[in-house]
Amino acid sequence: MAYDLVVRNGTIVDGSGLARYRADVGVRGGHIATIGRIKDRGQREVDADGHMVTPGFIDGHTHMDAQISWDPLGTSSCWHGVTSVVMGNCGFTLAPARAHQRDLVVRNLERAEDISPAAMAAGINWTWETFPEYLDTLERLPKGINYAGYVGHSALRTWAMGERAFTEAARPEDLVVMARELREAMRAGAMGFTTSRTFNHQTSDDRPVASRLASWDEVATLVGVLGEIGFGIFEIAGEDVGRDPERQADYYGRLRHLAVQTGVPITFGVAAGRVPKGEHLAMLDLLDQTAAEGGRMFGQAHAREFNVVLSFKTQVPFDALAEWKEFRSWPLEEQMTALRDPSMRAKLLDAAKHGAWPKSVGAEARKPDYDWIRVMDSALPPWRSVADLAAERGVDPAELMIDLALDSDFEQFFLQPILNGDQDVVLDIMRHPRCLPTFSDSGAHVSQLMDSSIPTHVLGHWTREKQAFTLEEAVRKLTSMPAGLWGFHDRGLIREGMVADLCVFNADTVAPAMPSVAHDLPGGAKRLVQKSVGILATVVNGEVLTERGEHTGAYPGQLLRGGRR
């Protein structure tokens, strides 16, 4: 029997949670044809001896809607065993978009998701207006990995209302237009509908993004469209209820009622503050209560502290200070020279101690708390705080950051947590049966975050080092569980007849690599990139996409359309 690909001599962890076993995997026509001992040679062979063979990982929370236009490979996700992503979260999509109002769509994204408007202008070929036309464009684009996409509320509002979307409640006729476009998007293959109601999502001129102007009745009406059609997921970046029990109870009650009444699965991020006070417990209870009442709801967990990545090559907390702004506009070599000048250093350090920071939102850098800022001297934790290291050296924390940066030619990274300060809480969330580790935000905040590495962090830190999960449990959370929740029923398991999306890795070494800064966005804008170690190969739709950390040249990715097909 002829095979296109044979992955030979590996240990299968099949995604189901069942125990591992030794076998070969034969692939034909993009699907798994045989699992067992295979004598026939494949046109291509991967020797997986000493490695685990698992389904490819699925990331259900990305913002790669713009990136796919200029990065067909799907970096950095593709380097971490991710073979399928869901984009269009939090209400932010590039469609629908009327030709004369594309700037309104960009306005929603540029600050809220830190996606460079210059990169979008240079890198996107706008060949669509409606969401079905956008999906058709995605179908034609070369793709390394698989993509699925929601339709976003902010784009729907600007489609229906234009500039009024940023200032007004929707009129009845506006809602008719939104609902009609949503129905067409769902019939064309959208995964569902997403929105944001959080303060963290603002425009560059400090206004709410369009979805935040919507009433709850507007949200419920649009989610009801999914219920009428009979498929699709509702994802929400939630309301800022804080620790107010009345506001929390009201919001959670509305979510639970919406899930039960419409029958639409609802998903959202479950996290804790930097110093948790138990708010995550209420969110976990909400998942269980909704299920008990007949609704479907699942949580998206992050796998570590939600860190803003700091460096002099990207951003540091002091960038917002008036005394630092001009200095930080200089070429990096000039900044290094200036930081070695005692008078200039004294001026900058004085500002770092006494300056006034403007209010920040989302993943933007904020006033430093040195007890929480970590020195990233390895790809996996533990990381020590700037405060502790500064105390050991007897220097000011800001001066320590400058010294470490200069000693490394500005290569030193620091991590500034803004959520998930208690890792025991993070583990509790990940372990909940209705939660899974995802929420990378890949494609957004590219100069601030580097969370495409969630799968390799789960495998390297939580599974190997902490032994908080068995390998079988961790792989299930990264593969068959998201495949089932997002409706990718032909993926997420190693079974004969399933699509051959696979990851081959060494369980003893798999981990993220250290990040680096690249200037490879359209127009030369910068972003953080991060590869991995320990991954031998990634297979997408039966073709080897990456091998030993390098792209093979293949682009086997597909558009994954939602719906009843």
pLDDT band at 556 (very low <50, low <70, confident <90, very high): very high
Grouping H, G, I as helix, E, B as strand and the rest as coil, residue 435 is strand
What ranges in 340-479 are assigned the alpha helix state H? Answer: 342-354, 386-393, 397-407, 423-431, 454-457, 471-478
Q: How many angstroms separate the CA atoms of 120 and 83, rounded? A: 24
Q: Write down the domain spans for the chain.
A: 308-418
Average pLDDT over the chain, rounded to an integer: 95
Q: How many angstroms separate the CA atoms of 128 and 134, rounded? A: 5
| Terminal Cα-to-Cα distance of the chain (whole angstroms) | 31
What per-residue confidence (pLDDT) applies to 402?
A: 98
- pLDDT tens per residue across span 271-310: 887 766 677 899 999 999 999 999 999 999 999 999 999 9
DSSP β-bridge partners for residue 271: none
What ranges in 35-171 are assigned the alpha helix state H? Answer: 102-110, 117-123, 131-140, 153-161
Which position has the token pair 């320590």? 400
What per-residue confidence (pLDDT) applies to 401?
A: 98
Strands 31-36 and 42-47 come out as unpaired
- pLDDT tens per residue across span 348-375: 999 999 988 877 776 676 789 999 999 9
- pLDDT tens per residue across span 49-88: 999 999 999 999 999 999 999 999 999 999 999 999 999 9
Question: Which is more confidently placed, 203 or 513?
Answer: 513
- pLDDT tens per residue across span 128-161: 999 999 999 999 999 999 999 999 999 999 999 9
What per-residue confidence (pLDDT) applies to 276?
A: 64
The pLDDT of 399-413, averaged and rounded, is 98
The residue type at 415: L
The pLDDT of 213-220, averaged and rounded, is 98
Grouping H, G, I as helix, E, B as strand and the rest as coil, residue 394 is coil
Q: Could you tell me the pTM of the whole model?
A: 0.97
pLDDT band at 565 (very low <50, low <70, confident <90, very high): very low
- pLDDT tens per residue across span 374-403: 999 999 999 999 999 999 999 999 999 999
Tokens of 314: 């990207």
Q: How many angstroms separate the CA atoms of 241 and 538, rounded? A: 41
- pLDDT tens per residue across span 309-322: 999 999 999 998 98
Tokens of 378: 């390895």
Please determine, for residue 500, whether its predicted confidence score (pLDDT) is greater than 90: yes
Cα 96 off chain centre by: 22
The pLDDT of 537-543, averaged and rounded, is 98
pLDDT band at 240 (very low <50, low <70, confident <90, very high): confident
Q: How many angstroms separate the CA atoms of 4 and 286, rounded? A: 47
pLDDT band at 116 (very low <50, low <70, confident <90, very high): confident
Cα 196 off chain centre by: 15
What per-residue confidence (pLDDT) applies to 564?
A: 52
Nearest to 257 by CA among 227, 302, 213: 227
The pLDDT of 158-181, averaged and rounded, is 98
DSSP 22: E
Residue 228 has phi, psi (to 5 degrees) of: -65, -40
Q: How many angstroms separate the CA atoms of 398 and 396, rounded? A: 6
Please determine, for residue 491, whether its predicted confidence score (pLDDT) is greater than 50: yes
Percentage of the chain with pLDDT > 70? 98
Percentage of the chain with pLDDT > 90? 88
What per-residue confidence (pLDDT) applies to 158?
A: 97
Is 55 within 8 Å of 489 (Cβ atoms)? Answer: no
What Å distances lie between residue 203 and 114, 324, 485, CA to CA? 10, 24, 31
By the 10 Å C-beta count (0-12 exposed, 13-18 middle, 19+ buried), 452 is classed as: buried
The residue type at 476: R
Task: Please name the helix (run of DSSP H) or strand (run of DSSP E) that holds residue 43, with its range, or none.
Answer: strand 42-47
- Across 153-157, 277-281, 325-329, 449-453, least confident range: 277-281
